[in-house]
Structure 1
Amino acid sequence: MSNGSDNWKRNVLVFLGGQTVSSLGSMIVSYAVMWHLTIETGSAAVLTTSVVASMLPQAVVSVFGGVWADRHSRKLLIIGADSTIAAVTLLLALLMLTGSGDLWMIYLALAARSALAGVQSPAVNAMLPQIVPKEHLMRVNGIQQSISSGIMLFAPALAAAVYASAGIVTVFFIDVVTAVGGVLLLTLVPTTRVVRSGEQLSYFGDLVAGVRYVRGHASVRWVMTLVAVVMFMAGAPAHLTPLMVSRSFGDAVWMLSVNELFWSVGMLLGGAAMATVGPKVKRPMRLMAAASVVVGVLVVGLGVSANFWVFSVLGLVICLGFQALLVPATTVLQERVEESMSGRVFGFYGIVISVAMPLSMVVFGPLADRIAVESVMVLAGVLLLVAVLGMLAAGARKPRPMHPHTGEAVALQPAAAA
């Protein structure tokens, strides 16, 4: 991997700066569109359709986006995706200025933005090892997660201020500006061409090769399985906490706000902690396993909490656990997957991240209207513990590392696992 440049810190700073600017604009749009549709229609069906349009295309396109990230310049893919998102958003803004902002246009724009995110996301994760030395990947991934969490913390307030004072069209124009700013910053980051070894396959052949790679490499498969299990089992409890607050502790607005604040701050602190201490972790897979167990225990704790402040602190610590899982997971994939295959692997990983939580709500959400939400929390936490401990008992915590040249799994003695 080409990351020996003396200017790597400058390159990473510019890269993260561009991604931060672009992501901030996108997040502001997400909140503003949700509020706009709520105010204008008051329809749950409209909101549901908008959520599907915002998430499903990314999950589908990520598979192909990963193939493209391994066949073409990752930098150009990111630039192309961001530029096209800006163009789509600008077109929607101009149409709405003329009074033509029908619902189907908004749905179409959301779907297009989501699909392009499916191209961009695998390329971003696959590009980082090209500009970051391996020994600093954990730190940079932690910083990136902290930035993402910070954006999620402040974007709602910014979106509310802009939307309330200037309207949805102005929000769209701001997103265009931030996308252009992100593209311009990314052009300043030099990258090298990814060299592919072996026979050049068709797009479908590359996709099949990616599937076989994930299935055939125990460490990659273990990471994805663990993340999928945790995100699925803990996804619904994370989204059901406002419901439990209103039912069990009171529906005061300040309580709901404190609950959301604690979760957001937890994600921010978790990313910062991994950026600080993560590089010192010698066995990241053991950290991931331990974090998953802790999350399971604390989710059960949410369900049995009788005090609002204890409940809120548990949410904060759960988010620390999330980051202790997700940051090492990304880093392990970046370190252990061949550079020519990383786009496809992160394409599949993107599907895991984008699908697990919504699917969790589909499964566990309706239960909260049939039984006490506390019982749903306890059930989800217990199932998470059973699943994770089952993986460990079955020996899945001993994934075999890959040979640095052949990429094939290498057998390990039990004492050398993780």
Structure 2
Amino acid sequence: MATAAPQASVQPARPSMFSSLRNRNYRLFAAGQVVSNTGTWMQRLAQDWLVLKLTGSAMALGITTGLQFLPMLLFGLWGGAIADRYRKRPLLIATQTVMGLLAATLAVLDLTGAVDVWHVWLLAVGLGLATAVDNPTRQSFVVEMVGRKDLPNAVSLNSANFQLARITGPAVAGLLIAAIGTGWVFAVNAVSYAAVIAGLAAMRERELNPVVPVRREPGQLREALRYVRARPDLIATFALVGFIGTFGFNFAVTLGGFANQVFHAGPGAFGLLNTVFALGSLAGALLAARRGRSRMRMLIGAALAFGVLSVAASLMPGYWSFAIALIPIGIAGITFNTAANSTVQLGVDAALRGRVMGLYMLVFMGGTPLGGPLVGWIAEQFGPRAALFFGGAVSAAAAVAVGLVLARNSGLKVRVRVRPHPAVHLVDRAPSTSPEPVAV
């Protein structure tokens, strides 16, 4: 009697680290972003150094950061609505053009010796206005290029792209500032936007998966708010993103203070701190690219790790020990960012994606006008160590609070088993027919 041969078990394919790059349109997008992100990071360091040179004030640096993100707080939702109402590729070409012109203006002011701190602040507001439209448009455009299956991978690769630029940008900027000054760094950044515009223009329209633009109607912003309010998972994610984005991710203020005030170093050492931090972030992004969809417990764990590691770094005694401590902070921070971004994008309706991502970016970046000056004030009054400690402590506390609320609302409690080995499990309070523990 013939018997059927046993079937080999089919193992799920492990995600490829670079699967999104099989898509031609995404390759063009990523290539342009490498160039433009490098220029952006060069300008960030040059702008910070210029403000410190003009004012010598950490609080002025915090105000600059706050003003750049203030439009996201005020107009982030409207930026998301614009992203839903128009075709995203032409809209991105327009926003990138405006950003390039703003960088060119700052370059001319600096090179002619006419720049004052109020010029920097005014142009920071202009950049923030363009960013309020560009960010939700760019975030929601990714799924139109690669589809839902490769979206988590593309989000992670975008973060890796951003962090790779963060490694090279500050290092090059530090050398250029020391050699020829900040003005030429701004000029290089202005030219770098041409790479993004060229990549967008060269895309094949037929290979995109565009979402049909939403007609302008009253109540569209309220619709997005109601949608998020009805989703506890989104509310929890937004809460974590809000606290950590507002109080934790203020390294533009704290790293400059550590380099200038704590370690009494120059622009090269400041650039190196940014580079080391980006190395950790790049490693975290590449690790995230191999994962599938994120779970809430990983999101909370990454947020908690980021806060605890930030507190530990604030206590490091020397320049090199502090620099090394930035690596795991970068890993934890980018793990949190990519998990939060892909969780939101994959969990929302396509017609609302622009508005929800506008709200996401509002929460993530819009709190910086409050957190930036506050952290800058703490750095000025009590020192950069106190500022970094404060940001890390708030981030860790937020992670613990959100985790406890989710556990309580899900009917979970902690049970400790002593035999045969100590272990901690989450179990449902209500009677259940399943013997498996319930995980968050």
SS in 1 for 2:334: helix
Name the CA distance, whole Å, in 1 between partners of 2:402 and 2:234: 14
Give how far 1:364 is off: 4.8
Distance 1:298 1:26, change over 3 A: closer
Name the CA distance, whole Å, in 2 between partners of 1:107 and 1:305: 33
Give how far 1:187 is off: 1.5
Instruction: Name the aligned partner's letter for residue 139 of structure 1.
Output: N
Give how far 1:170 is off: 4.2
SS in 1 for 2:212: coil
Name the CA distance, whole Å, in 2 between partners of 1:37 and 1:236: 16
SS in 1 for 2:219: helix
SS in 2 for 1:195: coil
In the alignment, structure 1 residue 337 sits paired with structure 2 residue 354: no
RMSD (Å), alpha carbons:
3.8
Q: Percent identity?
A: 22
Name the CA distance, whole Å, in 2 between partners of 1:61 and 1:17: 29
Contact kept, 8 Å, 2:174 with 2:271, in 1: the verdict is no
Match of 1:12 in 2: 26
Q: Give runs of aligned pairs for residues 133-152 of structure 1, distance below 5 A.
A: 133-152=147-166
Distance 1:163 1:134, change over 3 A: same
Gaps of 5+ in 2: 1-19, 411-431
Which shifted more, 99-108 or 257-266? 99-108
Instruction: Name the aligned partner's letter for residue 280 of structure 2.
Output: G
Distance 1:376 1:104, change over 3 A: closer
Name the CA distance, whole Å, in 1 between partners of 2:103 and 2:78: 23
Higher-Rg member (1/2):
2
Name the CA distance, whole Å, in 1 between partners of 2:120 and 2:287: 38
Contact kept, 8 Å, 1:86 with 1:176, in 2: the verdict is yes
Contact kept, 8 Å, 2:246 with 2:364, in 1: the verdict is no
SS in 1 for 2:280: helix
Give how far 1:75 is off: 1.1
Distance 1:228 1:181, change over 3 A: same
**Which structure features the higher share of helix residues?**
1
Name the CA distance, whole Å, in 2 between partners of 1:348 and 1:287: 22
Instruction: Name the aligned partner's letter for residue 291 of structure 2.
Output: G
Distance 1:18 1:243, change over 3 A: closer
Instruction: Name the aligned partner's letter for residue 343 of structure 2.
Output: V
Name the CA distance, whole Å, in 2 between partners of 1:342 and 1:352: 15
Name the CA distance, whole Å, in 2 between partners of 1:274 and 1:173: 34
Instruction: Name the aligned partner's letter for residue 278 of structure 1.
Output: R
Distance 1:261 1:362, change over 3 A: same
Which shifted more, 85-94 or 72-81? 85-94
Name the CA distance, whole Å, in 2 between partners of 1:172 and 1:155: 12
Superposed CA offset, 1:283-305 (max 9, x none): 43221111122223323433555
Contact kept, 8 Å, 1:222 with 1:396, in 2: the verdict is no
Name the CA distance, whole Å, in 1 between partners of 2:63 and 2:44: 14
Instruction: Name the aligned partner's letter for residue 330 of structure 1.
Output: N
Give how far 1:29 is off: 3.0
In the alignment, structure 1 residue 194 sits paired with structure 2 residue 208: no
Name the CA distance, whole Å, in 1 between partners of 2:326 and 2:358: 29
Superposed CA offset, 1:39-89 (max 9, x none): 4x3454865654444332343332211000011111111111112223444
Give how far 1:307 is off: 7.2
Match of 1:395 in 2: 406
Match of 2:416 in 1: none
**Count of aligned pairs:** 392
SS in 1 for 2:39: helix
Name the CA distance, whole Å, in 1 between partners of 2:21 and 2:316: 50
Structure 2 counterpart of 1:278, from 291, 304, 311:
291
Name the CA distance, whole Å, in 1 between partners of 2:81 and 2:272: 42
Match of 2:98 in 1: 84
TM-score, normalisation: structure 1: 0.78
Superposed CA offset, 1:264-285 (max 9, x none): 221121112212x323xx5432
Instruction: Name the aligned partner's letter for residue 85 of structure 1.
Output: M
Name the CA distance, whole Å, in 1 between partners of 2:144 and 2:401: 36
Match of 1:29 in 2: 43
SS in 2 for 1:194: coil
SS in 2 for 1:135: coil
Name the CA distance, whole Å, in 2 between partners of 1:168 and 1:207: 40
Instruction: Name the aligned partner's letter for residue 212 of structure 2.
Output: V
Match of 1:267 in 2: 281
Which shifted more, 97-106 or 264-273? 97-106
Instruction: Name the aligned partner's letter for residue 321 of structure 1.
Output: A
TM-score, normalisation: structure 2: 0.74
Name the CA distance, whole Å, in 2 between partners of 1:234 and 1:114: 20
Superposed CA offset, 1:310-352 (max 9, x none): 5544331122111111111111111111111111111111122
Superposed CA offset, 1:351-370 (max 9, x none): 22223455335445544566
SS in 1 for 2:150: helix
Gaps of 5+ in 1: 1-5, 400-412
Contact kept, 8 Å, 2:303 with 2:332, in 1: the verdict is yes
